[in-house]
A and B are shown apart, each in its own frame.
Chain A
Amino acid sequence: MSSESFTIAVNHVTRVEGHGSIRINVKDGAVDDVKLCIVEAHRFFESFTRGMSPAEIPWIVGRICGICCVGHQLAATKAVEDAQGLVPSAQTILLRELLNLSQFLQSHTLHVYFLAVPDFLGVQSVLPLARSHPDVVRRALRLKKLANDFTAVFGGRTLHPMSNTLLGWRRLPSKDAIADIRARLVAALPDLEATVAIAKSLPMPPYERETEYVSLKHPDRYALYDGEIYSSDLGATVPVRDYLSVTNEYTVAHSTTKWSKWHRDAYATGALARVNNNFAQLRPAAQEVARELGLEPRSINPYANNLAQVVEIVHCAHESLALIDEVLDRDLVVEDLSFTPRAGRGFGATEVPRGILFHDYTFDEDARCVAANAVIPTSQNVANIEADMRAFAPAMVKELSREALTLHMEMLLRAYDPCISCSVHMLDVTFVE
């Protein structure tokens, strides 16, 4: 196909959350242009939250995304607490960390088994696997149900939980239910081993590109709920309140999500960035898995994000067991959640399955929201995904059939686990002839 001119267009890429398309123009056998178009409709969360009261904000902005509703709630909660001068208790932070871990388990399991594995096994979806690999599908459903029940025990329900709010819990989880989750996590450890075995068997497309990896970093632990912003280029952290100098968002016409860049034209955030940046703080069992999967000291193959997710599934299970033991050892007390609302601006960041999530709110003298900003992992990753596509396309056009090229581009996009409905704010590959 060396002298051909054509365009590959993949419209409405499937098995991603949200709407996007990929366009690759090939002119006389060479790649002329690569565009990642995000076509999701606007929902204007940053506009319509104006007028809302502090406690309403986390509850409503959780609706930005179904898959990371917990993360949006937590980042918003931290930002609003910062603005209102509220300091949550150690009990509250412990419960939030567990709520966040439950969402990582749920989202990573869903992504690895339902969205990524079908590509590697050469099928269109998880459905044919129900017939060809029933044990795999049953395991996936078992793990997902455990993670969902885990979220529901701590949050009140799986999607858009309501038990948690500013300063603490409206209704505390029961210790019996927590102990049940602990027993089920222990019983699920063999399922995690089987998940690692699948991950080991997945052939990784051999495309690599070095980029800037950005994640939260915490002095004492693998940063998920909390930390400062770390860049592999900078080799140091900056405070969360300076996030605008990190994300540097800009708008392009072909995408309704905003784009980000820091020290280069693009950076990556997410599971691979976290494992690359914070490897030494992973639980020992997860470090061992990362070594088995070839992620030590680090990987620059974006497809390996799926492997990093498996590492994090193992980490989160062990971290959850440790934190649950802390909860079971203490008396959970009903806390006074009342406060006097005030004016002010606050910032919150948390790691969510797809990367760092920033929220930023300003309240007036009546404690009504007057400005809101949320910077989502996918909008931080889009420039990097497009840069990967641009870097890999010439070799792919030479080495692969059009069908295989399209599949590899879709797999690349899906590897980032893009959450497009959040970022508007993903993928059609169009072959234009």
Chain B
Amino acid sequence: MKPKIAFFDFASCEGCQLAILNVEDALLDLLERVDIVEFREALSEKAPRYDIAFIEGSIHREEDADRLRDIRARSRVLVALGACAAIGNVQARSNATAPAVNLARVYGEEARDRVQTDPDHWPLWAHTRVRPISDVVEVDYYLRGCPVVPAEFVKLVTALIAGSEPRFAREPVCTECKRAGNLCVFARGETCLGQVTWAGCGAICVTQGYRCDGCRGLLPGANLEAHRQILRDAGLDDATIDDRYDLFCSAQRQPQQRRGAGPGGHAR
């Protein structure tokens, strides 16, 4: 029987599902080998159990956490699809501010007070904090980045269908960037997080003229103190350095209670 694959989204831009729809060359071939049973952005079908569940988005409300736990219980393999699910992404920056203040800034104080106390709809507004999915459930694999790299998705699914263990290099973006033959961002007189960021993107941002901002997450074991010194030597003050790490990786740097395995790696 063909494996049943499902996609679910929580708080996200839904760009990672779009990135999967964008694998035009591989999509029709892949459809021959799997049954896609839920994909709300593209399908109306639904199913009770899944062989592989892809989760896009971070978890912000208790009702979302409950829905994720239910999906986990019905899934053999669960995969974090993209930076929101894997590390909380840019929106985790909002954790530095109280939810009531965030709501007031976006909706105004009058509207906040009215909707948060509405007897019929208050759960909609019960934002707690931005959490990567590993704070709520066990995660089997991580597809990193904002957005995900479609080739990594194809590699993971191909391996899982074949029953083999998918291998993703545990190295920093900096290594891939050298292999891509790029002039170092520091040599251009700018600064970069490529030395401490999970590889797998092929250093595409540097190749295309920008720098690495760390969207794939901080590599476990990276020497952050040494990296901080490099950034200081390049003229950044500590507050600016913290802002740079916190652009995409603020949730990785915030103390939190972890119920799942934590975003330690691609492997189980």
Given contacts A63-B89, A127-B31, A171-B209, 16 further A-B contacts (CB under 8 A): A17-B41, A41-B57, A41-B64, A43-B130, A46-B105, A65-B14, A66-B19, A156-B210, A159-B19, A160-B146, A251-B108, A251-B114, A253-B114, A253-B124, A256-B125, A422-B13
A237 on the interface (CB 8 Å rule)? no
Interface-located stretch among A140-148, A208-216, A301-309, A387-395: A140-148
Give per-residue flags for A44-84: 1 if the beta carbon is below 8 A from chain B beta carbons, else 0: 11111011100010011001111101000000000000000
Interface size on B, residues (CB 8 A): 64
A243 on the interface (CB 8 Å rule)? no
Contact A145–B24 (Cβ < 8 Å): yes
A240 on the interface (CB 8 Å rule)? no
Which chain A positions have C-beta within 8 A of B21? 110, 114, 144
Contact B11–A17 (Cβ < 8 Å): no
- B11, B16, B97 interface centre (most CB from chain A within 10 Å): B11
Contact A125–B91 (Cβ < 8 Å): no
A245 on the interface (CB 8 Å rule)? no
Partner of B115, one of A43, A47, A118, A251: A251
| Docked pose: A255 CA to B25 CA in angstroms | 38
CB-contacts of B74-121 with A (<8 A): 89-91, 93-94, 96-97, 101-103, 105-108, 111, 114-115, 118, 120-121
**What are 30 contact pairs spanning A and B, CB under 8 A?**
A14-B40, A15-B40, A18-B14, A42-B106, A47-B106, A48-B90, A48-B97, A51-B243, A60-B247, A63-B15, A63-B90, A63-B146, A64-B13, A65-B13, A66-B13, A124-B44, A127-B31, A127-B45, A158-B19, A159-B19, A159-B22, A162-B205, A163-B209, A165-B210, A171-B209, A251-B115, A254-B120, A254-B121, A421-B9, A421-B12
Given contacts A41-B10, A56-B247, A69-B13, contact A125 B89 (CB under 8 A): no
| Docked pose: A126 CA to B36 CA in angstroms | 11
Which chain B positions have C-beta within 8 A of A358? none
Which chain B positions have C-beta within 8 A of A126? 42-43
Give per-residue flags for A6-26: 1 if the beta carbon is below 8 A from chain B beta carbons, else 0: 000000101111110000000
Contact B91–A44 (Cβ < 8 Å): yes
Contact B209–A156 (Cβ < 8 Å): yes
Given contacts A41-B10, A43-B11, A251-B108, contact A67 B18 (CB under 8 A): yes
The 8 closest A-B pairs by CB, nearest first: A66-B15, A171-B209, A156-B208, A170-B209, A251-B111, A253-B118, A125-B43, A48-B93
